[in-house]
Structure 1
Amino acid sequence: MASKAHTALAAFRAELAGEVFAPGDPGYDDARAVPNARTDRRPAVIARCAHVTDVVRAVRFARELDLHIAVRGGGLGLAGTEVDGALEVDLRRMCEVTVDPAAEAARVGGGATVGHLDRATLPYGLAATVGRAPGVGVAGCVLGGGTGPLDRAVGPAADHLIGVELVTADAERVHANADENPELFRALHGGGGNFGIATALTLTLHELPRLAAVTVLYRPESGPAAVRAFREVVGAGPDEAGGAALYLSGGPAPRCAALVTYAGGEEELRALAGPLTALPHEAEVRGARAPGLLYPPGGMRAHWSARCLTGLPDAAVEAVCALAADLPAPGSRLLLLPLGGAVAAGAAGAAGHPLPYQRAAWIVHPFACWADPADDERALARVRDACAGVRPWSTDAVPLTLIGDEGPERVRAGLGEGNLLRLEKLKRRYDPDNVFRFNHNIRPL
C-alpha cells in the first residue's frame, strides 16, 4: 500500500499544474497554516490547485487512495479545521473575479475572498452582499447561507446565487442553476460544501452608487444606552440601514461602538444616525465604506459562535452588555447584527430557497481573540457564556458560517429540521461515501 501511495503521489505531482505538498516537503508547514493560531492542521497531502482540471485530478487522486477530501477556499471558517490525514484541496490560487456590468453579475472563483470580489466590482459601482470582512471566503459564505453587510437592503447572498460550477466526489464537473440540476442548486443554498467542490459561483450584483457609513465610539458606561439607540435607529429605519452594535476589548473595560451603514447618501445617514451621535461619545468616524470587521489577526488564537434572537428587548440589551465585560483581551468583540428587512422578506420563500435563520431579528456573534494557549479554556468559556446568556431570547436557527463544530443538533437547526431529510437524500446521490465531511456535515441517508 505504501508503494502504491508513493507511486500515486509521484504521478500526482507530475500532472498537477499547481503545487503539491506532503509532510516533510519544503513549504508544507506554510501551506497548511491558517490565520487562526489555535488550528494545527496536518493533511496527508495538500493540492494547491491552479484551475478546475487540477481539482478534478485531485479528487481522482484522493479516491484512488481512499482519502477523504477537505476543501480550503479563501476564508476563515471554523468548520473543517480538523483535516489530519485527508487530502486538502486548496483553491486559493483560483481567486479570479470576472464582472459582467451589463448583466450586473460576477463569476467568482472558488478561492476568492470578499476582498477580491469588492476590488473587482467597485469600479463598476456594483456590490454583492457577501461577508463582513475582506478575508471571508465568498464560496463558503454564500453556499453556507452566511450573512453580509447589505442583507437588510437586498437579502442574503444565497438569494442572489445564479449558478455553481462543481466537481463532485466522482470527479465529475457539474453545473447547477435554476434550470440545470435544480435540486442540487437548491441544496447549495445553505448546504455548504457537502455535495462537491465549488470551483466557481455566479452571483447577481447590485447597483450601489452611494454607500455611507458612520462609526460612533462610546465609553463602557454608555453601552446600554448606545445599544438601545442602535436598536431603535435600525428598527425604525428603512431596509437600506444596517451595521452592527459591538463591544471591543482592550483597555480597562470594553468600549462600545455603533456602526451604521446606509445604502444611500451622506445626508440621509446623518439624519438616520442622529440619535446615536446625540449621545455622549468619544469618537465619530464617517466614510464612504463601512470598515471591515477583521478577524482573526494573523498569529492570534481565535474562536467564535453565534445565536439568533427573536427580538432585542431591554432585558436582552442589559444581558449582552453585561456579557461584554468578560471579553478576553486583546482584539475580542461581541457583535449584535440586525436582520429583518429584505432578509425577513426572503424567509417567505420568494427566492425559493429560504434559510432557517431568516425569520430571526438579530444575531449575537461573540468573537474571542487571544495570544497565550494557556488562556484557551477561559476564552472558549467566554464564547459559550455569551451564547448561553442570551438563550431566553434565542431561536435555534443559526447561520452555520458563524459557528464551528457545535454538535449535530446545531447543524440540524442551521439547516432546518424539515429540510434535512431532503438534503440527506441528495447527499446519498452526490457523495454516498461522505468524502466531503470536513464541514457542517450532512450524512448520506
Structure 2
Amino acid sequence: MLNPESLTQFSATLRGRVVQAGDADYDESRKVYNAMIDRTPRLIVKCRDVADVIRSVNFARDHSLLLAVRGGAHNGGGLGTCDDGLVIDLSGLKGIRVDQQARTVRVDGGCTWGEVDHATHAFGMATPCGIISTTGVGGLTLGGGLGHLSRKCGLTVDNLLEADVVLADGSMVTANAESHPDLYWALRGGGGNFGVVTSFVFRLHPVSMVVAGPTFWDLDKSAEVLQWYRDFIAKAPEDLNGFFAFTSVPPAPPFPEALHGRPVCGVVWCYTGPAEKADEVFKPVAEFNSPLLHGVQPMPFPALNSAFDGLYPPGHQWYWRADFVNALSDAAIAEHARFGAQMPTGQSTMHLYPIDGAVHRVKSSDTAFAYRNANFAQVIVGVSPDPQDAPKITAWTKNYWEALHPHSAGGAYVNMMMDEGEDRIRASYRDNYPRLAEIKKRYDPENLFRVNQNIRPSKEAVALATH
C-alpha cells in the first residue's frame, strides 16, 4: 500500500504529473494502441524531462512497484503498461535535433517516427524505421527496427550510434562504442530490459524522395506471386525494398473504386535509387502475372512511412504472431495461400519483410538482434475496430501461425510478439541470450525492468554466459 504522504512528496518533485484512478484523464491516459489490452496502472507518470524519469525509476524501485515504460504505446502485447504498478509515460519528451554536418539526429525517447521523419526530411535525410509513423522511436529501435530501408541501410539498431539510459539504480549513463559498450551491444535488439532510454542518436542517410507504393494481384494468384517474390527480392538491387502482404484494398482514394474492399495479395515497394532508373527496376514487377494495380509513384519518404496510419489508427483490436523464416518453401507458400484466402476482417493481414542486403552484412554476434541469417520476418495480425471480432481474429492468427511455424527458423522479431513465454524469448535471441542475461545481471540485477520480452538475470543464465 502506497503511503499517501510519500506519493504527495513524489508528485511535488516532478515537472510532469502523476495520473491515477479517479483523475478525469485516467482512462484516456491508460489507453494503448492495441485496444485488446486493458490495464489499470496504479500510477501513470507523465514525464517532462530526464529528471522526472530518474525520480520515477527510484520511486518504483523504493516502493516495490511493478514498472512499465511507454513511448509510442504501440507494443502489440501491451508491454508498455501494467496492472497495479507505475507506468513511465515518455510521450512528453519530444526533442529532436539534426546535425547536418555529422549526418546524425538526436531523438528524445517520447518521439514517434513521424516526428523524426518530419525533422530529418527537411535536410533531405532519413534513418531506417518501421512502416507506421505513429510508432514510438524507443520500442521499435530497441527490438531491432525492420522497415522500408532495411535492405539498403540496415536495421534501425545498425544506425544507432548512442543512447542515454536511466538505469535501475537511478543513475544515467551514455552507451556507445566507447562508453558502456556492453550495454550499447544489448540495447541494439535486447528490448527494454536494461533501462529507460531517454534519447537516441542515429546515423542519417541521403533519402528524401522515393518511388514507392503497392502492386496488387488477385488473391487467387497468391501462391504464384509468393514464389515469384521469393526469387525476385533475393536478386533485386538493394535500393529496392518490398514486403509481401495479404490485405484488403482500402476503400478510399487513391485506390480505384472498383477495387475498394477487395482482398488481394501484393507487395509494398520502396525504391531509393536514381529516379531515372525506376521504370527499368519496376518493369519485371509491372509485367508479372497481370497485376490488378501497379501503384508506384514518386513521393517524399515521410509520405510512404505514414501511408498506413489511417488504415491502422489507435484503438483497434490486435492479435499478433510472428516468426523469422530462413527459406520460403513451396509447402509454406501453400499454407500462406490457404490462410490468406480466409482473412477474417478487412484490416487483418500477413506481412513478409525481407531480411538481406545491409542486414546480412552485420554478424549475428555484433548486436543483440540475432537472426542476421534469416531471409524474412513474418508477422500475422488479426485486426478489427469491433471488440466482438476479438475471438475470430485471434483464432485466425493462431491457426495461421501454427500452420507456418514448422516452416520457420524458430524465433521471432520481438517487436511483433505477444506475451508468449520465456522459451520463445530464448529462441528469439538464440546464442546471444546468455550474454544478454549477463548484461542484464550487471545493469538490472533485481529485474526492475521486466514488463517486456524479459531477459532474466538468473544465475543459470549468467553461468551459461561464462562457459
Tell me the TM-score normalised to structure 1 length.
Answer: 0.93
SS in 2 for 1:422: helix
1:183 aligns with 2:194: no
Q: Which moved more, 1:31-40 or 1:271-280?
A: 271-280
1:104 paired with 2:103, answer yes
SS of the residue aligned with 1:395?
Answer: coil
Q: After alignment, is 87-96 or 138-147 more displaced?
A: 138-147
Select which of 282, 288, 291 maps to 2:292: 282
- Rounded to whole Å, the distance in 2 between the matches of 1:164 and 1:293 is 28
Mapped pair 1:375 → 2:384 = no
Distance 1:252 1:211, change over 3 A: closer
Query: Residue 55 of structure 2 contacts residue 170 of structure 2 at CA under 8 Å; is this kept in 1?
Result: yes
**Aligned pair partner of 1:308 in 311, 324, 330:** 324
Q: Which position in structure 2 is the counterpart of 1:363? A: 377
Contact kept, 8 Å, 1:42 with 1:83, in 2: the verdict is yes
Compute the displacement of 1:336 (Å).
Answer: 1.6
Alignment of 1:132-281 (within 5 A): 132-249=131-248, 254-278=263-287, 279-281=289-291
In 2: Cα distance, 1:392 partner to 1:231 partner: 18
Once the two structures are overlaid, the 10-residue window that deviates more, 282-291 or 184-193, is 282-291
**Paired residue for 2:257?**
none
Q: Which residue of 2 aligns with 1:396?
A: 410
Report how far residue 190 of structure 1 moved: 1.3
CA contact (8 A) 1:226 1:276 kept: no
> How big is each residue's C-alpha offset from its partner over 1:340-380, in whole Å with a ceiling of 9 and x where there is no partner?
1111111365xx32622221111221111123333323211
1:307 maps to a residue whose letter is D
User: Are 2:457 and 1:444 equivalent residues in the alignment?
Assistant: yes
1:181 to partner: Cα distance: 0.9
- Counterpart in the other structure of 1:430: 443
Over 3 Å counting, the alpha-carbon distance change for 1:252 and 1:111 in structure 2 is closer
Give ranges in structure 2 of 5+ residues lacking alignment. Answer: 250-259, 459-467
Report the TM-score, using the length of structure 2 for normalisation: 0.89
Offset of residue 62 of structure 1 = 1.4
Does the CA-based 8 Å contact 1:35-1:296 persist in structure 2? no
- Contact (CA 8 Å) 2:353, 2:376: kept in 1 or not? yes
Aligned mates of 1:302, 1:18 — CA distance in 2: 31
How far apart, CA to CA, are the structure 2 residues paired with 1:145 and 1:170? 25
Which amino acid in 1 is paired with 2:294? E
- SS in structure 1 opposite 2:152? helix
Deviation for aligned residue 1:339 = 1.3
CA contact (8 A) 1:219 1:281 kept: yes
Among 35, 40, 43, the residue aligned to 2:38: 40
For 2:51, the equivalent position in structure 1 comes to 53
Which amino acid in 1 is paired with 2:338? Answer: A
2:320 counterpart letter in structure 1: W
Give 1:412-431 correspondences, 5 Å limit: 412-416=426-430, 418-431=431-444
Other-structure match for 1:346? 362
Task: Check conservation: 1:141, 1:401, Cα contact below 8 A.
Answer: yes
Q: Secondary structure at the match of 1:126?
A: coil
* Equivalent AA in structure 2 for residue 144 of structure 1: G
Contact 1:75 / 1:113 at 8 angstroms: preserved in 2?
Answer: no
Q: Secondary structure at the match of 1:206?
A: coil
Give the stretch that moved more between structures: 293-302 or 17-26. 293-302
Partner of 2:344: 328
Partner AA of 2:447 in structure 1 = N
Distance in 1 between the 2:447 and 2:329 partners? Answer: 43
Percent same amino acid among aligned pairs? 33
Output aligned runs, 1:9-48, within 5 Å. Answer: 9-48=7-46
Displacement, 1:82? 5.5
SS in 2 for 1:363: strand
Cα deviation for residue 81 of structure 1 reads: 5.3
Which one is further off, 430-439 or 248-257? 248-257
Aligned-partner residue type, residue 436 of structure 2 = L
SS at match of 1:304: strand
Secondary structure of the residue aligned to 1:199 is strand
Greater mean deviation of Cα atoms: 71-80 or 120-129: 71-80
For 1:75 and 1:346, the matched residues in 2 are separated by 29
How far the C-alpha of 1:186 sits from its partner, in A, is: 1.1
Partners in 2 of 1:396 and 1:240 — Cα distance?
A: 29
Conserved 8 A contact 1:210-1:265 = no
Which residue is 1:78 aligned to?
Answer: 76
Pair 1:407–1:249, CA change in 2 (3 A): farther
CA deviation string 1:80-101 (max 9, x = no partner) = 1560011100001112211111
Query: What is the alpha-carbon distance in structure 1 between the residues aligned to residue 364 and residue 85 of structure 2?
Result: 40
Matched letter for residue 86 of structure 1: G
Q: Which of the residues 414, 419, 425 maps onto 1:405?
A: 419
> Following TM superposition, by how much is the alpha carbon of 1:202 offset from its aligned partner in structure 2, in angstroms?
0.7
**Which residue type is aligned with residue 92 of structure 2?**
R
**What is the Cα deviation at residue 11 of structure 1?**
1.5
8 Å contact 2:326–2:374 — kept in the other structure? Answer: yes
